[in-house]
Amino acid sequence: MAVKCITDIDIYNKRVLFRFDFNVPLDTTGAIKDDTRIRRALPTIKYAIGKGARLVLTSHLGRPKGEIKPELSLKPVASRLSELLSEKVAFIDDCVGPKVQAVVNALEPGDVVLLENVRFHPEETKNDPKFSAELAKLADVYINDAFGTAHRAHCSTVGIAEMVKEKGTGLLMKEELENLGKAFSDPKKPVVGILGGAKVSDKISVLKNILNKMDVVLIGGGMANTFLKAKGLEVGLSLTEEDMIQTAKEIMERAIQTKCLFCLPEDAVVAPGIENGQEARVVQVKNIGSKDMVLDIGPATVKKFTAEIEKAATIVWNGPMGVFEKDAFKQGTMNIAKAVASSKAYSVVGGGDSVRAVAQAGVSDEVSYISTGGGAFMEFMEGKILPGVAALES
């Protein structure tokens, strides 16, 4: 794929329109609770400032569904960027139109302006060519550094790229593609995939794609219950997907055919319900009762999974092992996070819950790479071509 990076493009005195992922969590007062996504964009922004570009920053925030919602304004992001860069980041309350064009055209080399939430316009998510053309009026160069939205074919991720001749990735997008490529395209073996989360249905395409690429797949979280039930075991009140049981059987058969070791929990932490932490106990999966709810993997499973992680040369993790938000059911996920961090393998973690889990375990700095993508990370695992990346091809 012939995709340029910003470092391959002359951006001096050019109006460079950037698509970033500033979709940060806000509290009830509108303050930013976690600025990680903003910080991950800083290397690209600083590079462009240093090269004398005229920076025009765009992003979405939340799901305003084409309506102007003040609580989803990007204004707090402009303030935070100003603090982090130690220089003024101007903010304008729209992202297209004559007023915006006038501000952008008046920028001097090194100036930075952040435009308002692109999803305040309904045309954005429809990839409307007219809206894409309006965005393109602001750009001599287009740079996409929002891996987290690369799976979306929207105006600011795909439409504009088709209208601006000079285009490429930012430093973060390049970093994401290189690191995920290292884990999926030509990984060092043995490769261990760790999949958790609530539903098999969310991970079917991933499982089908990775079984012939992984040497070992470790399954935890609510999705493990459906596989256990497919093997004829009682799972009580646990989250299961009855309509996925046949699919689960087919996936396990496929694992045998591809010689992929498919590991399910041997024991589990159960309780009558998520709020019943004080009643939690460990049982073998063959002894799960009709009134039990499986809420975490047990210590024997942690030991089994850790043994496979220790043998790995490459590790890919998406999805927690249990309801780690609750103290009574977090230990499995925390222990797996620590095992991944302690491994000598090249490790990639993606997906919001998994990223939060390694942070909660205090081992984020010990993981080889933490992806900023949720849905984009999943679609990369599924082997799909990401529209936001394909649109950057020269």
Annotated catalytic residues are 37, 199, 352, 375
- Round to whole Å and give the CA distance between 394 and 301: 48
- Round to whole Å and give the CA distance between 125 and 77: 21
Q: What is the largest CA-CA distance in the chain?
A: 71
The token duo for 326 is 């609750």
Q: What size, in residues, is the chain? A: 394
- Cβ 321 vs Cβ 220: under 8 Å: yes
The token duo for 42 is 């800083």
- Round to whole Å and give the CA distance between 200 and 278: 28
The token duo for 147 is 């891996």
- Round to whole Å and give the CA distance between 304 and 299: 9
DSSP H stretches of helix in the chain: 36-50, 75-85, 98-105, 129-136, 171-184, 204-210, 223-230, 245-257, 299-311, 331-342, 352-360, 375-381, 387-390
Compute the half-sphere exposure of residue 18: CA atoms within 13 Å on the CB side of its CA.
32
